[in-house]
Structure 1
Amino acid sequence: MTRRFLPALALAAGLAAAPAFAFDVGAMTDAERAAFREEVRAYLLENPEIIMEAVAVLERRQAAEQVANDAALVSTNHDAIFNDGYSYIGGNPEGDVTFVEFVDYKCGYCRKAFPELAQLIEQDGNIRIIYKEFPILGEESLLASRFAVSAKLIAGDDAYGRLHDAMMTMRGTMTTASLSGLAGDLGLDGEAIVAGMSDPQVDAIIGMNHELAGRLQISGTPTFVMRDQLLRGYVPLDGMVQIVAELRAAQ
């Protein structure tokens, strides 16, 4: 390998080489450029671990950029996320750690996370949970969210909380009839809740949640907001416990 090609080869391999030699790609002849390419190819084939090192560096850089971007988005939309005045607040309303969940009742991973999140809230005792109705999986999802929002507007937070839990474990198709029956099983007036779904405020609330999700670059469920972080996707119980510990340690 010639000394002329070393600096560019180091850069191509993702190495932090000092600029010891002058190097001008534009000044290379076609033959030199072809030779250079062969040098790079041969070096990478002999040392493929360098590619993985470069990928790891890129992934760390992208992750750091995503964290910074998420923090800026959360800061800009702080009140809409944590204090919108219409979303359900459960767990310990005075808790020192707040989880905001964008949820869809037909989302398999939301359902998978539900019992583990409930266990975390119960065993910890100092977690505040806020639910954002975010139906994205079709008409059945939208119907379920409209029913849940109507229940909150008509019957209050306690009714919404119990209905939310029941809907997250409900089997079968969600229709106005099946949801009304589920509400009745909980001692709620299912017919009144169905009638309340036509209230323009119901669609307005869901619409505001969708707008907020757009601003936060949220496209899937479940997505959690914790302090200045966005967590996209399902996290098992032990992972959530670790997150809570890290948030408290950073206070």
Structure 2
Amino acid sequence: MILSRRVLLAGLALSGTKAPAFAQSAPEPQMIPVELIDNALNLPSIVRIGHPHGDVIMVEYFDYNCPWCKRSAQSLPDLLKAEPELSYMLVNFAVLSPQSVAATRAALAYLQLYGPERYLPLHLALFALRGTVDGERALAEAEKLGGDRTRMTEIANSDKTTGWMKDAFATGSDLGLVATPSFLIGTEAYVGGMSLEQKREAIARARG
């Protein structure tokens, strides 16, 4: 097991019970104060992919057991290809279950050991799994990508990882993100699932 009971309960204190949003239309954009966006961009756990200095910054708050997050991950390579000037950032936001908390701890351990350059393959692999993603399954996928299970387990249960999760939860709460996935695109927040086309429309909106 990746988590002791004590550590698991500490993780659950971070999590809520919000269900993912399912909608035919895109969620309505909400203006966000710049300082709150800056707080999100300065999270130590944020994973930066896409253009390093893009003309639009898009941040996704996600949970590894969220069905709409899975759809978002499946379309992410196509989005990055279609939007080469986009800076895309991922924030682990484990709010759906104890299993999500454990999976996030494993993912953040992999991030700390191997850096953001190697994170995207793990991200896509976890969302390619069927069924519930927990700590053990996340560790197994990370091992397939060359991760050291012993080191990852140690780091997953560390105070540093707990702190990263608390920080992400705090910024998400400040931003009013009550469902996964949620997106920051430019200076606006979109709470709920978005199709590839809806994301591209929101990116174009941010470009003005």
TM-score (norm 1): 0.67
1:156 aligned residue: 115
Q: Which has the higher contact order (CA 8 A, sep 6+)?
A: 2
Cα deviation for residue 78 of structure 1 reads 2.7
Return the match for 2:78 from 119, 124, 144: 119
The runs of 5 or more residues in structure 1 that have no matched partner are 1-62
Q: What CA deviation, in whole Å up to 9, does each residue of 1:96-153 have, x standing for no partner?
A: 1111011000000110122223311122211111111111111001011111111111
Report whether the alignment pairs 1:209 with 2:173. Answer: no
Change (3 A) 1:121 1:74: farther
Structure-to-structure mapping, 1:118-137, within 5 angstroms: 118-137=77-96
Report whether the alignment pairs 1:189 with 2:148. Answer: yes
The structure having more radius of gyration, on CA atoms, is 1
SS at match of 1:141: helix
Q: What CA deviation, in whole Å up to 9, does each residue of 1:154-212 have, x standing for no partner?
A: 22112322211211212244344322221121122233212211111101111111111
The answer (yes or no) to whether the contact 1:99–1:128 under 8 Å persists in 2 is yes
TM-score (norm 2): 0.80
1:140 aligned residue: 99
The answer (yes or no) to whether the contact 2:63–2:180 under 8 Å persists in 1 is yes
Change (3 A) 1:246 1:176: closer
Structure-to-structure mapping, 1:52-63, within 5 angstroms: none
Identity of aligned residues (%): 23
**Greater helix percent: which structure?**
1
Return the match for 1:103 from 39, 62, 81: 62
Q: Matched residues in 2 for 1:83 and 1:179: separation?
A: 25
1:76 aligned residue: 35
SS at match of 1:140: helix
Whichever residue aligns with residue 107 of structure 1, its letter is C
The answer (yes or no) to whether the contact 1:103–1:110 under 8 Å persists in 2 is yes
Q: CA RMSD in A?
A: 1.9
The runs of 5 or more residues in structure 2 that have no matched partner are 1-26
